[in-house]
């Protein structure tokens, strides 16, 4: 699988924001151009879980994140929910792949029903209709029958449903290792190389 040159990353208002921000960091480190989309509810969750306050304007968030990750507009663009002239809003200029991480059940339902009431939903609709890779990371528990039906509907369309359920066979020592487990699985789905964790069946490196 060839690594994608561009990835749309959408953050919604589900718990699990460390997954999304760590994924953003890893994609930029891998040289991928990222189009970042976020909902108003995501800003609330970022403040609650990360302790950061993102500005209300997408351009200000863009400048803040570009400074943090030391990249420019050729590597990271940020778009608001109503920016219909963003590249990801049209099938004539879609990203190579898209990830919604974390994904609320409301966003998942809207994507499953083909709604396009905001840029996140529209970008997902474009990814599906253009046959591009779409990875959805739902963060909810327990799942209702309605949630499961929506996920099954999307899975049958070729969408990768990747719940935020970290494993423990790699003996994680901190929360960061649990986050990296999920981010590693997402990067694998995208074909983006990484060294976030030891793969199953690999020999444990000898310590000096």
Alpha-carbon span 26 to 24, nearest angstrom: 6
Residue 1 placed within a domain: no
What's the distance, CA 108 to chain centroid? 13
Residue 52 placed within a domain: yes
Residue 92 placed within a domain: yes
For 15, other C-beta atoms within 10 Å of its C-beta total 15
pLDDT per residue as tens digits for the range 133-142: 999 999 999 9
pLDDT at 87: 96
Residue 196 placed within a domain: no
* 145, two tokens: 């029958």
pLDDT at 184: 97
15 is in an annotated binding site: yes
pLDDT at 201: 83
Alpha-carbon span 108 to 110, nearest angstrom: 5
107 is in an annotated binding site: yes
Q: Name the burial class of residue 58, with classes exposed (0-12), middle (13-18) and buried (19+) by CB atoms within 10 angstroms of its CB.
A: buried
Residue 146 placed within a domain: yes
Could you list the residue range(s) of the whole structural domain that residue 108 is in?
6-190
Instruction: Please list the residues that pair with 34 across neighbouring strands.
Output: 7, 76
Residue 131 placed within a domain: yes
Alpha-carbon span 99 to 134, nearest angstrom: 6
pLDDT per residue as tens digits for the range 30-69: 999 999 999 999 999 999 999 999 998 999 999 999 999 9
Residue 66 placed within a domain: yes
Pure H helices in the chain: 17-29, 40-49, 58-69, 105-112, 119-129, 145-156, 175-190
pLDDT confidence of 203, banded at 50, 70, 90?
low
Q: Are 186 and 162 in contact (CB under 8 A)?
A: yes
- pTM score, whole prediction: 0.94
6 is in an annotated binding site: no
* 69, two tokens: 């990750």
Could you tell me the CATH number of the domain that includes residue 89? Answer: 3.40.50.1950
Q: What is the gyration radius of the CA atoms in the chain, in angstroms?
A: 17
185 is in an annotated binding site: yes
114 is in an annotated binding site: no
47 is in an annotated binding site: no
> Pseudo-torsion of CA 84, 86, 87, 89, nearest 10°?
-30
Percentage with pLDDT > 90 across the chain: 91
35 is in an annotated binding site: no
Number of domains in the chain: 1
Higher pLDDT, 204 or 154: 154
Residue 203 placed within a domain: no
């Amino acid at each position: 699988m060839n690594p994608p040159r561009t990835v749309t990353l959408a953050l919604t208002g589900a718990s699990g924001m460390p997954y999304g921000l760590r994924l953003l960091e890893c994609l930029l480190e891998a040289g991928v151009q990222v189009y970042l989309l976020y909902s108003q509810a995501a800003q609330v969750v970022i403040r609650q879980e990360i302790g950061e306050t993102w500005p209300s304007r997408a351009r200000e968030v863009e400048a803040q994140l570009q400074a943090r990750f030391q990249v420019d507009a050729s590597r990271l663009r940020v778009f608001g929910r109503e920016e219909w002239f963003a590249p990801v809003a049209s099938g004539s200029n879609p990203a190579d792949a898209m990830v919604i991480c974390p994904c609320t059940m409301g966003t998942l339902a809207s994507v499953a029903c083909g709604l396009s009431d905001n840029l996140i939903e529209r970008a997902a609709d474009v990814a599906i209709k253009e046959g591009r890779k779409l990875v959805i990371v739902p963060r909810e528990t327990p799942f209702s029958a309605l949630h499961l039906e929506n996920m099954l509907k999307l899975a049958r369309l070729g969408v990768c449903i990747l719940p935020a359920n970290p494993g423990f066979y790699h003996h994680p020592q901190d929360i960061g290792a649990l986050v990296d487990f999920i981010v590693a699985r997402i990067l694998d789905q995208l074909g983006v190389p990484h060294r976030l964790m030891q793969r199953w069946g690999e020999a444990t490196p000898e310590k000096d």
